[in-house]
Amino acid sequence: MIVLEFKLKGKPHQYRVIDDMIRTAQFIRNKALRYWMDNQNVKLSDLYKQCAVLAKEFEWAGKLNSMARQASAERTIFAIQRFFANCKANKPGKKGYPQFKKSARSVEYKTSGWRLSSDKRSLTFTDGFAAGTFKLIGSRDLHFYAQTEIKRVRVIRRADGYYTQFCINVERTEEVAPTGKAIGLDVGLNYFYTDSTGATIANPRYLRKSEKALKRAQRRVSKMKLGSANRKKAMNKLGRKHLKVSRQRKDFAIKTALCVVKSSDFIAYEDLQVKNLVKNHKLAKSISDAAWSSFTDWLQYLGRVYGKTVIAVAPQYTSQDCSGCGTRVKKSLSQRTHTCSCGTVLDRDHNAALNILAKALRRAGVELNTAGHAGINAWGQTDLYSLVVTSTSKPTG
């Protein structure tokens, strides 16, 4: 499944109709949740039937395409299933009990209620709301895909306009020449990551760089009268600034992950529990700004696309253990240099990256040398062609 996104270009009254569509989808979703709360053993089919009841009871709800109403009910059942899965797994903390939506920003259609033009450069909504035709603004080309392959059409409202996402049922694969190299990555705050060769990537800190402008925009919002037109304009400007930071992070994560995947055949990183790390209030903002989870998600996805092996390993003691002899050398977070009695002196993050790589290689079934580590050369890289890999070539972890 791939997702292609375009910006919708239409007239002001068409955007107001989209807002009505989004509010209706939110209404259906909340009503489905209330039905589940008031009844026992509710299934998805029961919520589908409830959608039909709502369409008859409320004329404006019946304007929304039937499959769009069903998609809203599906969002409810997914939230319910996630809640029960967390309870069954005895997940610590809050289990994510489904909540009513107060300000939804999207509506989702399935295979009906919309129509693409013959040149696939415009989108028309054909349900009762009659939002009309919108021009699709974007660089991607839908001509490569048949309309039957488009399984979902999602409309999203953002601070800078309205967008549509086409969810296409195809598998993306890319072929690249193998490099025969393995690499370990240790993410951090001083540097975005340090790899097992000792190379580092600077932490862009997009939120920190935009913090003054964000605070200024937030102050303007707080000074405006509630419900006024000026407050809405100020909130929109604030939303645009936050959106820019979000897009900068995403762009950096994608490009950095793509570079790593193309340059190595075997990639190891530490499986950090970021939501636990952000409980440290002194580091929470910096950790969130680094967006490690987004980066590792893209590593996993691009690893599958390019047929590379991407493995996540437990982070315990990767910074404390010596990559040369395996001795555990205790050190505080402020101590940035690893010094061991065996003579190994490395940057703390470089040492951790070597340990991460060694852990992943052991997990993947690479034959180890007598020192207990994989055959890592003096530059911290591993030549996979000189080792015996018994694991599959598909990404795991």
Residues identified as active-site:
186, 270, 349
382-383/345-347 β-pairing: unpaired
CA distance 367 to 326: 17
Both tokens of residue 109? Answer: 């259609």
d(CA 277, CA 62): 46
- The answer to whether the CB of 312 falls within 8 A of the CB of 270 is yes
Torsional sign, CA 10, 17, 99, 1? negative
Contacts of 119 (CB under 8 A, 6+ apart): none
Q: What is the CA radius of gyration of the chain?
A: 25
- Name the token pair of 393: 């070539």
Specify the 3-state DSSP secondary structure of 135.
Answer: strand
Query: Beta strands of the chain (E only): which ranges?
Result: 2-9, 106-109, 114-116, 122-125, 132-137, 150-158, 161-168, 181-187, 191-195, 200-202, 266-270, 309-313, 337-339, 345-347, 382-383
DSSP string covering 262-274, please? HH-SEEEEE---H
